[in-house]
Amino acid sequence: MNAPLRLYAADRSALAGPSEGPIDSWLTRLVKLVPAEIVAVYLAGRPLAAARFEHTWPVACLILTIIVRAFGTNDGRGPQWLSIAISAVSFVIWVYATGGQFLTIQVDTNVAALAVLVWTTLVPAIWRGDPARRPRIAAAA
């Protein structure tokens, strides 16, 4: 199964030789961990939800983040739950950074914008993903 949002780290046990499978760079990890598609959905729907669903719209989009990321990180071994949690936190920070609020909790927009900068810089440097899968060697007949 294709998992376009799953992160793969280098196998640190191999000190030399070519890499085995995909290895994500810092920039690739950054792109995969920020739920830009759901941030766009949130921003597009926010004016429509302002009157009646102001407090539930961010929650609905957070649930969408979890669902989309669960499907996008599932490569047959199951979803990559740490990446999903990081994306969920990223989404909540982005809600605050764009002037929204989550569950009636308000955060200063400038503080949230600074949190976006720190979070999106550090997290991809720390979380590198699962070790790349080793190719299966067919048994000799």
Q: Which residues have a Cβ under 8 Å from the Cβ of 103 and sit 6 or more positions away?
A: 55, 58, 59
What ranges do the domains of the chain cover?
23-131
Whole-prediction pTM value? 0.79
Question: Tokens at residue 122, please?
Answer: 């550090």
Quote the pLDDT of residue 141: 47
Exposed, middle or buried by CB within 10 Å (0-12, 13-18, 19+), for 131?
middle
Distances from the Cα of 6 to the Cαs of 34, 46, 93, 112, in angstroms? 12, 28, 21, 26
> One digit per residue, pLDDT tens: the chain, 141 residues?
577 778 777 654 544 455 555 667 888 888 888 999 999 999 999 999 888 888 899 999 999 999 999 999 998 888 999 999 999 999 999 999 998 888 778 889 999 999 999 998 898 888 878 776 554 545 554
Quote the pLDDT of residue 135: 47
Instruction: Report d(CA 55, CA 111) in Å as an integer.
Output: 20
Q: What is the CA radius of gyration of the chain?
A: 18
Quote the pLDDT of residue 29: 83
Quote the pLDDT of residue 15: 44
DSSP string, 79-112: --HHHHHHHHHHHHHHHHHTT--BTTB---HHHH
Quote the pLDDT of residue 88: 96
